[in-house]
Amino acid sequence: MRALVQRVTRAQVEVAGAAVGQCGPGLMILVCAMQGDTKAEAEALAAKIHKLRIFRDAGGKMNLSLRDTGGAALVVSQFTLAADTKSGNRPGFSGAAPPEAGERLYEHFARALAGLGVSVETGRFGAEMAVHLVNDGPVTIWLDTAS
| Single-letter amino acid code for the residue at 73 | A
Whole-number Å distance between alpha carbons of 42 and 48: 10
Active-site hit among 9, 80, 93, 140: 80
Active-site hit among 6, 12, 55, 78: 78
Burial of 90 (0-12, 13-18, 19+ CB in 10 A): exposed
79 carries an active-site annotation: yes
Whole-number Å distance between alpha carbons of 20 and 106: 16
Active-site hit among 6, 12, 55, 79: 79
80 carries an active-site annotation: yes
Residues belonging to the chain: 147
Whole-number Å distance between alpha carbons of 3 and 75: 10
55 carries an active-site annotation: no
Question: Under 8 Å CB-to-CB from 56, ≥6 apart: which residues?
Answer: 62, 63, 64
Whether residue 121 contacts residue 22, with contact meaning beta carbons closer than 8 Å, is answered with: yes
Catalytic residues: 78-80
